Amino acid sequence: MTDRDRPRLADLRGEPNVYRAAEDSQLLATTAVSRVGRGDRVLDLGTGSGHVGRAVDEACGARVVASDLNPHACRRARDAGLEAVRADMVAPFRGGSFDWVLFNPPYLPTPEDQEWDDWMERALSGGADGRAVVDPFLASVRRVLAPGGRALLLVSSLTGLDTVRDTARAAGLVTEEAADESYPSERLVVLELVPTGGRGPR
């Protein structure tokens, strides 16, 4: 598929089973575009509509792989012109595969009695504390980062930023705030994650 054949981001349409790009997606995409370099190997984890991966692909000339557990999201990412892999977190990827991992996870704290059982619930609900998906990501992402590799993780103040930082530290990751946006009910933050001892220049 040539660039002329591929749909522009604005042409993509949402569907009921796929998380549609919103303010959090745009914040992560903008932050990633400012950091990713040409030829970098990038994993757009939990790709949803493919918005973040496609923005990086278009602006940076990076080698982007999109992944999602949701088969509908994988199809949307392919429609957006991305290579897409159905995957549960980073499990199927070889160690040291990526220069960047980008992740906009489900982060909304959701009481168990308000859970529902479909793909949109998986895309939105972060469990009772908002970290049901964030914590496993922090425990596993370091394995797939290449030397000098980094990750960008979008979280909300509702998720418990201090706890996220503590969990990252325990997993051997240094956290720095790369970007943020404030809203009446929450603050969205993009954390840049650097493996301990991995602060080399990029």
pLDDT by residue (tens digit) across 96-140? 999 999 999 987 767 665 555 554 555 555 566 778 889 999 999
CA angle 129, 133, 137 (to 5 degrees): 130
CATH of the domain at 62: 3.40.50.150
| 202: in domain | no
Could you tell me the residue range of the domain that residue 56 belongs to? 9-195
pLDDT (mean) for 92-98: 95
Neighbour order of strands in the sheet with 98-103:
83-86, 63-68, 41-45, 98-103, 145-156, 187-195, 173-182
Element (H, E) at 122: helix 119-124
Q: How far is it, in rounded angstroms, from Cα 63 to Cα 6?
A: 16
Query: Is there a contact between 42 and 64 (Cβ–Cβ < 8 Å)?
Result: yes
| 49: in domain | yes
pLDDT (mean) for 152-164: 93
Q: pTM for the whole thing?
A: 0.83
The total of structural domains in the chain comes to: 1
